[in-house]
Chains A and B, each alone.
Chain A
Amino acid sequence: MREFAQLLIAGLSTGAIYASLALALVLIYQSTEVVNFAQGEMAMFSTFIAWELIDKGMPFWAAFALTLALAFFGGVTIERVIIRPVEKASVLTIVIVTVGLLLIFNNLAGGIWGFQLKTFPSPFPSGTWQVSGVVISQQSVGVFGVALLVMALLAVFFRFTALGLAMRATAMNREPAELMGIHTTWMLALGWGLAAVVGATAGVLVAPIVFLDPNMMQGLLLFAFAGATLGGFESPGGAVLGGLLVGVAQAMIGNYVSFIGTDLSLTVAMAIIVLVLVFKPTGLFGQAAARRV
């Protein structure tokens, strides 16, 4: 039982990492209906900026705030300068542009900061709590807490604020959104900016755990995709729960299903996703309406 609880905790800690990045994916999808393949690399780049600021002697929270501001500005700029010219083209074209961005950010970070591992200071204490023999790391609890907080903020934003509704309306159907008097082009830019902010938050949160290097997000992003898919791209709550589920499933399957073994846990995670999609195509928490891309 203790073993099970410890694995559950380990799975939840990993899951919280997936969840925080999945939130950024949900955000960009909700506000632009684009899947941004560069999302992880943008988050990584922001995290490097935070690292550089801290390395230059700035206090952690000041560096964090400045990084979020830069990320927002960067996200808006990318939308206005790079995505804008192709926004009327097909989804495939936009996907390819985000792939281009992925290559650029990854290699740029490597060129500037190198590919060697960097440690990143954690805003949370590095200690642990022991609850009847089960070890819980305070850092993981911190990541978990922030992910929940971001989730709550996003849910409120998208459901109850005029700006949030306007962003969703723009993503769903631009023409009628414009008929509502919404400046849709700015909504899209705003969506990119906010997604960059959430991504940067996720990056700064997870960097102390997975360490900082230009490739830190590549594996992560896949599982975040999985989490977002599982929960449904429609709901921030779903993304968090989906991310946690993927993390727990990975830890459990590797340990308890011996004939599969840990080396196939990835494959199994992917298979679960496909199965979930088959029976609930919009994810566990998505709404009924099917979507076209």
Chain B
Amino acid sequence: MRGYRWLTVPVVIAGVLLAAACGSSSKSTTPTQAPGGATAPAASSSPSAAAAPQCNKAPNQTEGVTATEISIGNTDAYSGPASAYAVIAKAEDAYFKWVNDQGGVNGRKIKFTSLDDSYSPPKTVEQTRALVEQDHVFADFNPLGTPPNTAIRQYLNDRGVPQIFVATGAATWALDHPKYPCTIGWQPNYQSEAIIYGKYLLANRPDAKVAVLFQNDDYGKDYLKGLKAGLGAKASQMIVKEESYETSEPDVSPHVTTLKNTGADVFIVVATPKFAAQAMKAAAQLDWKPLIIDNSVSVDLNTMKAAGAGADGVISAAYLKDPSDPAWASDATVVQYKDILAKYGSGADPNNVFNFYGFAVADTLVQAIKQAGQDLTREGLMKAADNMNYTSPYLLPGITIHTSDAQKDWAPIEEMQLEKYSVAKGSWERFGQVLEGAVR
């Protein structure tokens, strides 16, 4: 045994070095920048108006639809580390119950079946197959998460089952829509939002030194990609430090210390609520006062309050109305949302933005079903989703859900408006024009 002991050092060190080396070699393989600044992912074919995607593989186009009912499936993380998002599916359930009590959609009631996948791709495959093969759902609506959705995309497209308005902001749902015609996204993707920030910085702080804190996963990396696209040729000059954190870390303030030491004057926070609040708070505590840009994932008032003094003057971008914002207190849609949630939501917190998100996306589905008409088919539903021009009352004024425009880039929402937070007022204030951040 003793003889083996010394072998340990080289084995462990070699393991770490190997991992690190492989990591650094991967940098050379990240997508190169195309002229014009946008990234050009190799896998996606360039979208064109001529090649309209068709989701028509399903042998039974009306499976899950009867004269009185439409069966809709969904997977979400009711257990496990991502369970904060389960609120979304519960809100959707509440919204559909309300729709049904109003008489349903085109005379049909919505039967909503939502299953737990704990954010684990193999579980998502299993549950999605249960939905399709056992519950015979008509469509899989708003399943949660990039890896889970990636795991089921091929399966659903092979079967011709719509994977509609997925709950993830990866760019692939829009870019690869022609290849996977039964799959379409909904919210502005992370890259779009970051492009908007990049454009804003170029216009207003062209000489800024930018430090970025990002979550080490697809979501964080997509933002980084978008930011570089938005900054264009100046990206490498302006970004002085990219620092990633793992969700398993309890406190990101050591990273903020590192970033502060670079002397940056713009701090971009690409983090989920808990870590974003910690980062903004840490910056204030370290007496570091850069312009902070906080991603739209973490802008609810809870998070901003948790950030304390660090939240003052923070800039972000929004596309949804914020139900906790007093400015919308008398908005008809927000008032109705609160009423419905109070009645059907079994105690759900109306200030939780996930609830509002759930309502907004469910409303879009109802709109698409209406648009698909009385003779509802799977192909018809996707055709409707591909040809939307819908001014959703849940979105900020000036932002629409549109897939019918000439560009045909298959991103239903790609505009946002910048907003600034004031600690004194305890709310966000929007400013400037609605900005567009299409990923091409």
Contacts and interface: CB of A to CB of B under 8 A. Distances in A.
Note whether A and B form a binding pair.
yes
Interface of A: 3, 6-7, 10-11, 13-14, 17-18, 103, 107, 110, 114-119, 126, 128, 130, 135, 137, 206, 209-211, 213-216, 218-220, 222-223, 250-251, 254-255, 259-268, 271, 274-275, 278-279
Interface residues of B, number: 48
A219 B247 contact: yes
B336 interface: no
A135 B285 contact: yes
Contacts of A128: 285, 287
Given A137-B285, A266-B246, A214 B83 contact: yes
Given A14-B254, A268-B16, A6 B79 contact: no
A223 B19 contact: no
A223 B306 CA distance: 24
A13 B255 CA distance: 13
A116 B16 contact: no
Nearest to B257: A10
Given A119-B302, A135-B287, A254 B255 contact: yes
A210 B86 CA distance: 22
B273 A117 contact: yes
B287 A114 contact: no
Contacts of B86: 115
Interface in B10-62: 12, 15-16, 19-21, 23-24
A216 B243 CA distance: 22
Contact of A267 (B16, B87, B274): B16
* Majority secondary structure, B binding face: helix
Nearest to B309: A126
A274 B87 CA distance: 39
B367 interface: no
Nearest to B17: A259
A139 B50 CA distance: 61
Interface string B233-258: 00000000001111111110111011
B12 A271 contact: yes
A266 B244 CA distance: 12
Nearest to B77: A115
B302 A117 contact: yes
A119 B303 CA distance: 8
Contact of B251 (A14, A115, A118, A130): A14
Given A214-B83, A264-B16, A278 B5 contact: yes
